[in-house]
Amino acid sequence: MARTSGSNEVGEMLAERIAGLIIDTAVNSPRSLQKRLGPSEVGDPCERRLTYKLLDWPESATESDPAASIIGTGFHSWMEEAFERKQTTLPDGRPRYRIEERVTVRPSPIEATVVAGSSDLYDRATGTVWDWKLVGHTSLDEYRRKGPGPQYRTQAHLYGLGQENDGETPKRVAICFVGRYHELRVHVWTEPYDRQVAVDALARLDRIRHRVDDPAAAAADYSNAWWSQIPASDQAKCRFCPWFKPGSADLAVGCPGTQADRPARHGFESLIA
Ligand code: SF4
């Protein structure tokens, strides 16, 4: 899967081994093994993808390039260190920044229904919930023109709720898009924090989960007919979906997607966030 380059046979062999190590480490990272839905996934516009995920359904796409995910993880660490260096103390004695703090968006006695995640940054001085997105420069222009889309917007407000659950008083959410480009390009989308956006997203998730847990689903053996009732979305990011299977006629095997003209590839930008 990975393309390697070496100037000779030994170089080729070493390149293969390093690429294998990178892929193995990425695939077995805690984030990759996560099955519970996190704040970055809850607002996915595609109910079918969320359903596959909730059921831990076998993935259809066999190839996953971890390169962008690794770069994104490195960027988040870099930002974490940058704000640790900028850390100051507020007049009340608390640190100004909460950096990469784990927050619980929705506590639950049932482990599988907990929604929790690591919030990139919360600035107590301004009440702003920040999220970093490292994106390609074409995507950066698109986010600048069209806004962050439902998934990223929902994620921002879910983290706002998580901060609120921790006793903070968020006033604003902000998504900072940084271009993977040879020169620095930054775009910030922001709006006032709205708890209702998060509450509505959790209610939608519950509705999807109830359909999965319905005995009728098991009785139907999660067949193609059952899957066909579950709506996809025109806004779905099929290229990055682990269940994308172009041309598939059986949703129990894989989903043909809603943008059939796009090339089959996943594991790229969607993994960065
Ligand atoms: S391939 Fe597209 S439509 Fe199908 S489940 Fe994935 S995101 Fe949804």
> Per the structure block, which two tokens stand in for 257?
């997607």
- Going from N- to C-terminal start, the domains of the chain cover 1-33, 39-273
pLDDT at 270: 35
Nearest to 130 by CA among 81, 79, 93, 62: 79
Provide the pLDDT for residue 164: 98
How far is ligand 1, taken at its centre, from the CA of residue 213, in Å?
A: 20
3-state secondary structure of 115: strand
Give pTM, 2 decimals. 0.86
CA distances, 197 to each of 3, 154, 213 (Å): 42, 6, 24
Say what angle helices 195-213 and 149-165 make with each other, to 10 degrees: 100
Q: Given ligand 1 and candidates 41, 47, 48, which is best to mutate, with the most ligand atoms within 8 Å of its CB? A: 48
Q: Check pocket membership of 48 for ligand 1, CB cut-off 6 A.
A: yes
Hey, what are 244's tokens? 């994308």
- CB of 257 shorter than 6 A to ligand 1: yes
Which residues of the chain, if any, have pLDDT below 70? 1-7, 27-35, 62-63, 260-273
Spatial neighbors of 128 by CB under 8 A, at least 6 apart, are 122, 170, 171, 172, 173, 174, 190
Cite the beta strand spans of the chain per DSSP E.
97-106, 115-123, 128-136, 172-180, 186-192
Instruction: Enumerate residues 6+ apart whose C-beta is below 8 A from 272.
Output: 68, 69, 71, 72, 75, 133, 134, 135
pLDDT value for 201: 98
Q: What per-residue confidence (pLDDT) applies to 51?
A: 95
If phi over 0 gives left and psi between -120 and 50 gives alpha, with beta otherwise, what is residue 179?
A: beta
Report the b/e string of 259-272 with b at 16+ CB within 10 A. eeeeebebbbbbbb
Residue 46 in contact with ligand 1 by CB distance below 6 A: yes
The finding on whether 230 has its CB within 6 A of some atom of ligand 1 is: no
Reported as a single tens digit per residue, the pLDDT across 69-95 is: 889 999 999 999 999 999 999 999 999
Residue holding tokens 């919930």?
129
Q: At 212, give phi and psi (nearest 5°).
A: -65, -40
DSSP per-residue string spanning 211-268:
HHH-HHHHHTTT-HHHHHTS---TT--GGG-TTB-TT-S-TTT-B--S-TTS----SS
Q: What does the pLDDT read at residue 4?
A: 61
CA of residue 55 to ligand 1 center, whole Å: 15
Architecture of domain 39-273: Alpha-Beta Complex (3.90)
